[in-house]
Amino acid sequence: RTMSTAARQSLRIGLIPADGIGKEVIPAAKAAILALGSDIPKPQFIDLSAGWETFTRTGVALPQETVDILRQDCDCALFGSVSSPSRKVVGYSSPIVALRKELDLYANIRPVVSVAPVVGEKPSVDLIVVRENTECLYVKQEVQTVGEHGKEARATRLITQRASQRIGQMAFELANSRPRKLLTIIHKSNVLSITDGLFRETVRSVPTLPEANGKYDQVTISEQLVDSAVYRLFREPEVFDVMVAPNLYGDILSDAAAALVGSLGLIPSINAGDSFVMGEPVHGSAPDIEGKGIANPIASIRSAALMLRHLGYTKGADRLDTAVDQVIREGKVLTPDLKGTSTTNEVLEAVLRIL
C-alpha cells in the first residue's frame, strides 16, 4: 500500500453510489476530495453501477464490469448505499455483500467518534467497531423445508479460523496504534460455544502467533458478551476503545454506537483487504428521505477521509476531518437528522468553504 502511494501520479477512485441517498451523498464526497488539490495525487473518478435499481434495469445487481474495473483500473472506491428487498427475489443478491467477497475486503472498520465542543478536548465517545466482513450468517446459505410442524427455515453460520485470525490481526494492529490500546472481543460463546467459541479463541490467540513476535504486548485484551456489550455501550461508552466482532454482531453494534453520537448520518467506514480499500457510509439508502436533498453527506465525506488515510494520504484525510469537525462544532449548517434545517448541498458547501 505505501509502496504504490509514493509513486502514484493520480488516484483512480471507483464511484458506486448504488441506491437511494447513495446517489446524493457520494457526489458530495467526490466534491470534497476534489477540493483537496495537491494534498493528494490528482483524482480520477470512474462511475460504476450496482444495486437494486441496477438489478431492476439489467437483471444483475453487481455487473461483472463493475468488479473488473475495480480490480483492474481503480486504486480504491467509494460505495454509497443499497436498497436490498426484505423478501426473497429470484436472481437478486446483495451487491455490497458480494463486492466485499469478490475483492476480499475482509475488515469493515467503523470509527464512532463524537466531536468535542472545544477544539483539543477529548471526545466523549471514541471507539472503533471492527466487523468481520466475509462470513457469519452473511454467507447467506439459507434453506426452507417443510417438516412436521410446517415450514422450517435454516441458515448456515460459518466462522473459520482463517477469517477470525485475520480480522483479529487487523483489530490488534488498530488497538496497538491507539493511546489506550484496549481490545474488546465481542461474542456470545456462552450459547454459541462452537462458532463464537472459535472466533473468541482465535482472536485471543493472535498475540501468540509467531509473526506477532511480541508486538501486541501492550494491548489489553478484554471480552464481552454481545448483549451486555450493547448495554454497556449505552451506559458507559467510554469503556470501549477497539471492539472486534463477527459480521452480524458488528453490523448491529455499530448502528447502536451511532446513536451515541447523534446520527447514523455521521458514521463512516472502510471495507479493507490486503490490496484494496472501499469507503462506505454506514447508513443505508434511506428511502424515506430519498430525492429530498436532505441526506447528511458527512458519513460519506468521512468515509473518503478514512479511505485516504488508509492509503497513506494523511494530510488530505486530516483536512477533510477537520473541516467536518468544524461544521459540526459550529452547529449552524446541519441536516435534519441532526435537528438542523440545511440541505445536503448546504452542508457540503460549508465543508468546502473551510477546505
Shortest distance, CB of residue 350 to ligand GGG, whole angstroms?
23
Beta bridge partners of 126: 113
Would you say 26 and 78 are in contact if contact means Cβ atoms under 8 Å apart? Answer: yes
Shortest distance, CB of residue 24 to ligand GGG, whole angstroms?
13
Specify whether the backbone of 335 is left (phi greater than 0), alpha (psi in -120 to 50) or beta: beta
Q: Residue 135 interacts with ligand GGG (CB under 6 A)?
A: no
Specify whether the backbone of 136 is left (phi greater than 0), alpha (psi in -120 to 50) or beta: left
The binding track of 91-110 with respect to ligand GGG, each residue x by CB under 6 A or -, is ---x-xx-------------
Size of the site for ligand GGG (CB under 6 A): 11
Nearest to ligand GGG of 84, 184 (CB atom): 84
β pairing state of 136-147 and 150-158: antiparallel
Sites for ligand GGG among residues 63-92 (CB under 6 A) = 81-82, 84
Shortest distance, CB of residue 25 to ligand GGG, whole angstroms?
10
Kindly tell me the sign of the dihedral angle through the C-alpha atoms of 174, 80, 4, 35.
Answer: negative
The binding track of 245-284 with respect to ligand GGG, each residue x by CB under 6 A or -, is -----------------------------------xx-xx
Beta bridge partners of 277: 272
DSSP state of 20: T
Nearest to ligand GGG of 96, 301 (CB atom): 96
Burial per residue of 255-284, b for 16 or more beta-carbon CB atoms within 10 angstroms, e otherwise: bbbbeebbbbbbbbbbbbbeebbbbbbbbb
Shortest distance, CB of residue 228 to ligand GGG, whole angstroms?
25
Q: Residue 14 interacts with ligand GGG (CB under 6 A)?
A: no
**Residues that bind ligand GGG in the complex, under the rule CB under 6 A:** 81-82, 84, 94, 96-97, 280-281, 283-285
